[in-house]
Chain A
Amino acid sequence: MTTSAPAHETDAERRHEHRFQVSESIARLVMRTTANNLPLSRDDRPYQWSTTTYCDTVAWSIFRAAQKGSAMQLRIREYHRTRPREVLNPGTAWIEFKDDEQDTSLKERFGVSMDVARSFLRGEAALPEQDHGLAERAAGLLRDGARPVAVTQYNRLAYNSLDSSLRITADHNLMYFALPWETRNDGDSEPSPLGSLLAMEPDVIVEMKWYGELPHWAVDLHAYLKESTREERPSKFIVAMRWLLGETDGTKKTKKK
């Protein structure tokens, strides 16, 4: 059980989430417009590396549910100045639960030490239950055998409105890795080496997340992104899992929103 209250962040309600795959030049224009209207996120240092370790079961139940349009991702997020070649490194880890539906998402996350995150993944540590019940669902996934299986790494530029009602991010250098199934002993606290590089994203992934109505300039920006996007983007989790399972080239088209 955790002994101290972890840092906690959660969405107040479901929010819209749209993803766009665009060229570097389009992304620069988009982020310039964004920078004129939103402040740089205080929590995301520009060009730091985000490393996200995704969990799934041997039957890939989370991935299969995500493909049908509704699933809860269970993942561990780490931030580093330079790209780490291992995951689950000592330091602060964010245990994240993200409940995705077709057009919206609900996210909740807990900042804890990596030791606590490891205990949580082994089903030994519990997190305080919050409003949305995501932690309990995650514990259920772990009881069903969910473990870390795939990793994404990328540089993120993030802009947030002051009231957090709108967030626009651009992810560069997006890389997908396999992760061998964990066989660590209970007391083992060594980081896990990344497996094979599955793919690198040649483009930039721009994401818009918002509550309620978009401001006028953001409506225009959204329309511009929709015109300029090369393909409708599934979530990074789905793309990573497709690569991992060899199911497509990782970018199978989905119906545009």
Chain B
Amino acid sequence: MKAIEDAVRSDAPATRVVVVEDDQASADVLQRRLQANGMVVSVAHDGRRGIELVEELLPDLVLLDVMLPDTDGYDVCLRIKSNTTTSPIPVIFLSARGEVVDKVRGLSCGAADYITKPFQAAELLARIDAVLGQARNPRVPRLGRPIDRAPGERLVARVAIADAALREHVEQLLVSRFDLADETPDVVIVEGNAAIPAEVPEDVAVIRVSAGRTGNDGNEVIPVDAQLPRIVDLLVRERSLDHDLQAAAEALIVLASAIGSHDRPGAGHGERVASRAVQIGRALGLDESTRMTIRLGSLLRDVGNARLPGAILSKSGELSPEERTTLERHPILGEEILSGFKRLSGLLPIVRHHHERLDGTGYPDGLRAEQIPLEVRIVTVADRFEALLADRADRPAVSEAEAVRILQSAVARGELDAAVVAALATQVRTGGSR
């Protein structure tokens, strides 16, 4: 615990290193040497503790001994590299085992380097620098196709740069694509780390530029050259699109939440499903954009209930066959409602198909296996899991472990995607928080 506290207390942007070394004396020497070079070091003396530290601290680097009391370094390295959260963290093996097969085995497990003991401190530091340098590729603004804009749709840019020559240069570059004005800008251009003018509202895009080399201090700084107008245009457009999507989705989510208050599993179920589905998506390595689709799709999956009779939604007993048939139309009705929102077209498969099953016994279309997109399968599993955790009129809530067991039975029957349920089971087993 002390190791975590030491690391968390440090606010400085120093390199954080976890050392996994069973020999106390060696660990002390290594820790002092790294600290003397400005690094924040946390030490574990066995593999289990080492993995805990790495998962807690998400360090910049792991230095790993091969021979450990409870397991070996290869096992620790494989566990680090198999976790989507920790896999980008570079690992360097430090070992007295210097045979070629040992090095090959270490590097094949995903290590960035393998250093044999005894080593020279200068060599160790040089290799650490090299590995960290590779791991810290500076972010480069993505380039896209130029956006053709009608004359009436020009954005307003405010160039808030103190240096007169640079300001004039930037304005010359932007004037062909933007209206330049200080009032109600869509985007504000500032130089490097300069302060943003106080009167600029928070929701206005701010883009930092530099006449020299791009910086690497955490802020994305764009060079002032012929590409500047295109990049600024792209970034503002992306931001605008995100805002539009959010706004449209938020309005609908308010509606869906209001409907959800009548929903059988109870209030707040939609938000819990969305949170759980996003977690599963992250565990399966889905990108942020897909996770956003999953989140919004989860929240809006039952929006079609708005067109169903309230008596069916609020009925606590068993539904008649006719009522069941009516209820099972809600995915189609939801799709009809959302199809009017062009920006939400990516959510439609989740809304329409979240009650489909891999074996083709679901509704409304009886899709089978590969016909059901992964995002949909994730929402389906999250929905069923969270429903099991809630009390209902016809049965009491079950524990998380029991809910996983019930879903695994559904996998065995061919209803749910085994890999999605496995990701959920791993979360539950390791106590993954929302």
Contact = CB atoms under 8 A, between A and B. Distances in A.
Interface of A: 24, 46-49, 57-60, 81-83, 85, 145, 147, 149-150, 155, 172-173, 175, 177-183, 193-198, 200, 202, 243-247
B419 A47 contact: no
A246 B411 CA distance: 9
Given A58-B368, A181-B372, 7 more contacts: A48-B108, A85-B81, A172-B105, A179-B419, A183-B372, A194-B285, A243-B422
B265 interface: no
B424 to A, nearest CB: 9
A47 B101 contact: yes
Interface stretch (B72-80, B143-151, B316-324): B72-80
Contact of A246 (B105, B109, B404): B404
A58 B404 CA distance: 18
B108 A245 contact: no
A1 to B, nearest CB: 22
Given A46-B101, A58-B359, A195-B423, A178 B418 contact: yes
Contacts of A182: 370
A177 to B, nearest CB: 8
B312 interface: no
Contacts of A149: 418-419
B369 A145 contact: yes
A196 B422 contact: yes
B109 A173 contact: yes
A147 B418 CA distance: 12
Interface of B: 71-72, 74-75, 78-79, 81-83, 87, 101, 104-105, 107-110, 283-285, 358-359, 368-374, 377, 404-405, 408, 411-412, 414, 417-423, 425-426
A176 to B, nearest CB: 10
6 contacts: A145-B368, A155-B108, A173-B75, A178-B418, A181-B370, A243-B422
B92 to A, nearest CB: 15
Contacts of A150: 418
Contacts, number: 118
B418 A245 contact: yes
A24 B75 CA distance: 13
A243 B418 CA distance: 10
A155 B408 CA distance: 30
B110 A83 contact: yes
Contacts of A246: 404-405, 408, 411, 421-422, 425
Given A47-B108, A82-B107, A178-B419, A173 B78 contact: yes
Contacts of B284: 180, 193, 195-196
Given A180-B284, A193-B284, A198 B108 contact: no
A245 B411 contact: yes
B107 to A, nearest CB: 7
A111 B235 CA distance: 47
B28 to A, nearest CB: 29
Contacts of B78: 83, 173, 175, 200
A147 to B, nearest CB: 7
Contacts of A48: 108
Nearest to B424: A196
A47 B404 CA distance: 36
Contact of A196 (B377, B411, B426): B426
B240 to A, nearest CB: 30
A181 B414 contact: no
